[in-house]
């Protein structure tokens, strides 16, 4: 539905005696933000998942209907069990500040959008997408929010190894907390120290809410990654900035910035 940043506390109950692996079946799991924790849990047991939407902010949109771009991908997933292709939205929406009953039936303010943006590297690359909310990944390594979270994540190897990241495409998006640039740099440094950027074939970056810190985030990405050959594509309609597409994890993706599309095998 929404939230769940403390579901790391389920790790002992799901992974001691391999209980999650024994229970998991071929189900659709769709979520974003804090559910990055749950995506990583299901990745550990080999279940492909879908990143990008949640019940309360998307299905329960306060406007007259679901946002059309969001609804397109939600409907495709429900009807087919998969996503075949993602293209950019023509518009992006300002984040809501008022969730009172007075806003029911009122659409959020919309602005023209300008598609996928190649920050550096080749405009075409491929691999399985894996990743999530960088705020949540930061908590995998830093105990400021939850003191025991890094310890439990290490004990149960929740964050994928550098070998697991090999050949994949890293997806990152920022939350409604609008991570300050210095924390964004620290979060990327944690990922770099874990060997992620040496292993992946490319990086996909979701649009920040209200485009705040957008340019400085791009500068920090280039500086921290420090590898001009690694492709970085920004301005995806994924994560906390509306509207939201859906990106499948665990299937091969082909990114083509020139054609402005991501296709999935």
Residues 184-232 have pLDDT tens digits of 999 999 999 999 999 999 999 999 999 999 999 999 999 999 999 999 9
b/e string for 234-258 if b means 16 or more Cβ within 10 A? Answer: bbbbbbbbbbbbbbbbbeebbbebe
Q: 156-187, pLDDT tens digit by residue? A: 999 999 999 999 999 999 999 999 999 999 99
Residue in this structure with the two tokens 């992620």, named with its chain if needed: 196
For residue 2, is pLDDT > 90?
no
Average predicted confidence (pLDDT) for the chain? 97
According to CATH, what is the number of the domain 7-264? Answer: 3.50.30.60
- pTM of the prediction? 0.96
Residue 89: phi, psi to the nearest 5?
-80, 150
Residues 6 or more apart whose CB falls under 8 angstroms from that of 239 comprise 32, 33, 52, 133, 173, 174, 175, 206, 207
170: tokens are 């890293």
Q: Which of 198, 197, 94, 178 is nearest to 135 (CA)?
A: 178
Provide the percentage of residues in the chain whose pLDDT is more than 70.
Answer: 100
pLDDT reported for residue 3: 78
β-strands 247-248, 231-236 pairing = unpaired
Return the bridge partners of 187, or none.
none
- The angle at the Cα of 101, spanning 100 to 105, to the nearest 5 degrees, equals 115
What string of DSSP letters covers 74-106?
HHHHHHHSS--EE---SEEEPPPS--SGGGTTP
Q: 87-134, pLDDT tens digit by residue? A: 999 999 999 999 999 999 999 999 999 999 999 999 999 999 999 999
Domain borders along the chain are 7-264
Secondary structure E strands in the chain:
30-31, 50-51, 85-86, 91-93, 110-112, 117-120, 124-133, 169-173, 202-206, 231-236, 247-248, 252-256, 261-264
């Amino acid at each position: 539905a929404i939230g769940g940043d403390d579901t790391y506390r389920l790790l002992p109950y799901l992974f001691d005696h391999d209980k999650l692996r024994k229970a998991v079946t071929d189900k659709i799991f769709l979520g974003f933000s804090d559910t990055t924790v749950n995506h990583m849990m299901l990745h550990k047991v080999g279940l492909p998942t879908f990143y990008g939407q949640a019940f309360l902010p998307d299905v329960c949109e306060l406007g007259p209907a679901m946002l059309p771009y969001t609804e397109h991908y939600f409907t495709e997933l429900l009807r087919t069990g998969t996503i075949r292709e993602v293209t950019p939205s023509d518009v992006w929406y300002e984040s809501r500040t008022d969730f009172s009953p007075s806003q029911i039936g009122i659409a959020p303010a919309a602005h023209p959008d300008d598609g996928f943006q190649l920050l550096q590297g080749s405009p075409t690359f491929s691999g399985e997408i894996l990743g999530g909310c960088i705020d949540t990944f930061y908590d995998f390594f830093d105990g400021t929010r939850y003191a025991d979270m890094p310890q439990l994540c290490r004990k149960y190897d929740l964050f994928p190894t550098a070998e697991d990241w090999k050949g994949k495409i890293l997806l990152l998006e920022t939350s409604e907390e609008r991570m300050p640039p210095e924390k964004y740099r620290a979060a990327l440094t944690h990922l770099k120290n874990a060997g992620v950027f040496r292993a992946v074939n490319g990086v996909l970056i979701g649009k920040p809410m209200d485009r705040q810190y957008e340019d400085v985030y791009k500068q920090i990405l280039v500086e921290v990654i420090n590898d001009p050959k690694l492709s970085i594509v920004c301005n995806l309609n994924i994560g906390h900035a509306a509207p939201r597409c859906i990106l499948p994890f665990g299937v091969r993706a082909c990114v083509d910035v020139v054609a402005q599309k991501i296709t999935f095998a």
